Structure 1
Amino acid sequence: MSREQDEPKVMDEEMLQQAIVEQGLQGQSGQKTLAEPEGVYQLRLDFRNLSFNNIEVIEGLDSLVKLQDLSLFNNRISVIENLDALQNLNILSIGNNSIAQLDNVLYLKQFKNLRTLNLAGNPICDEEDFKTFVTAKLPDLVYLDYRRQE
């Protein structure tokens, strides 16, 4: 693995644009571009090009207001933040990162449409009351870490 692949990264327009092109996402004009972010409903920024993205900070998603499904699996994220504009978020996969504080779950309370959350593989999952805490704070979740909530 090269040193460049190991270095932490921050989401920027270039990374988002590349993901949109690779995933074949298109705006209303039919172009694969961030120029029409209102047409993007799903975005994966996880395992790409046989390497990890090494994202440490979530940012740059403000224009994707209709985004419903976001995967940030297998990165270096330690804080869930900067997702305020994604009020249509239904699925968030942020497993295998570095999230260790239960306060991150409180941030997710604002997403009224969130039904599926994957935090598996984060240090937060080792907390004794993890599952109880998450289900108490996010009662509308249907799936937590690949399991249906009763």
Structure 2
Amino acid sequence: MIQENVPTILQEFVQPRVINQDMLINLVIEQGPKGEAGKLFYEDDILKIDYLWVMPNLIELKLSNNIIEKIENLDALVNLKELDLSFNRIKTMENLNHLTNLEILLLFNNEISEIENINDLNNLTIFSIGNNIVTDSKHVLYLRKFKKLRSLNINGNPCTKEDGYLDYVFAFIPQLIYYEYKMITNEQRKNAREKH
């Protein structure tokens, strides 16, 4: 016997079962956004970040491998701890400063030329901005102030080809433990300090 107060989509699942992918997809279709929001929600590639105000308690957001060009509409996500916008078309780091709980920021493989506008991300621990177009190494001094920063990946940017770049990073961001996901050795740190 099916209970009347059970939503239609769940009626076939009233018997105890393990949640499976089909059940989740059906729930999203029935209870997901409607109208224009629904169209954007169900497209294969996400063009724009929007309609996230309905999830203020979200702590992890992965929007990698899309065609997003602008970081926007994240204001309501004050509890967010991890944001992955890798493999998109983002040109500018913007609209991130209010995400003060953010610990992991992944912007790998975009079109970003400057590391900026994250002054208030004091909890930032892991930052990946490899394969972008950052040319100026002034970001090293900018990143120095993030005292909890432990892992940095900036490989594949023009700035990393400068002579002595790695020594500069190791000397001026001493709190780093990992660079390109490899542990920084004591010898690398010592050499960097001697040069700077």
Give 1:35 shift: 5.8
Give the Cα separation in 2 of the matches to 1:101 and 1:144: 18
Which residue number in structure 2 is paired with residue 144 of structure 1? Answer: 179
Which residue number in structure 2 is paired with residue 11 of structure 1? Answer: none
* Higher mean C-alpha deviation, range 98-107 or range 113-122: 98-107
The answer to which structure, 1 or 2, has the higher relative contact order (CA under 8 A, 6+ apart) is 1
Q: Which has the higher strand share?
A: 1
Q: Is the 8 A contact 2:115 2:139 kept in 1?
A: yes
SS in 2 for 1:37: coil
Q: TM-score by structure 2 length?
A: 0.58
Give the Cα separation in 2 of the matches to 1:126 and 1:119: 11
Q: Is the 8 A contact 1:62 1:84 kept in 2?
A: yes
Which residue number in structure 2 is paired with residue 28 of structure 1? Answer: 57
Unaligned runs of 5+ in 1: 1-13, 48-52
| One-letter amino acid matched to 2:159 | I
Which residue number in structure 1 is paired with residue 26 of structure 2? Answer: none
Distance 1:28 1:55, change over 3 A: closer
Which residue number in structure 1 is paired with residue 164 of structure 2? Answer: 129
Give 1:146 shift: 2.2
Deviations 1:60-115 (A, max 9, x none): 11221100000000011111000012111000000000011111111101101000
Distance 1:66 1:148, change over 3 A: same
| 1:115 alignment partner, one of 139, 150, 165 | 150
**Identity over aligned pairs, percent:** 39
SS in 1 for 2:152: strand
Alignment: residue pair count: 126
Which residue number in structure 2 is paired with residue 69 of structure 1? Answer: 104
Give the Cα separation in 1 of the matches to 2:144 and 2:184: 17
Which residue number in structure 2 is paired with residue 40 of structure 1? Answer: 80
Q: Is the 8 A contact 1:37 1:65 kept in 2?
A: no
1:5-16 equivalences under 5 Å are 14-15=48-49
Q: Is the 8 A contact 2:104 2:127 kept in 1?
A: yes
| One-letter amino acid matched to 1:28 | N
Which residue number in structure 2 is paired with residue 83 of structure 1? Answer: 118
Look at both structures and tell me which one has the larger radius of gyration over its CA atoms: 2
Distance 1:63 1:148, change over 3 A: same
SS in 1 for 2:117: coil
| 1:101 alignment partner, one of 123, 136, 144 | 136
Q: TM-score by structure 1 length?
A: 0.75
| One-letter amino acid matched to 2:85 | L
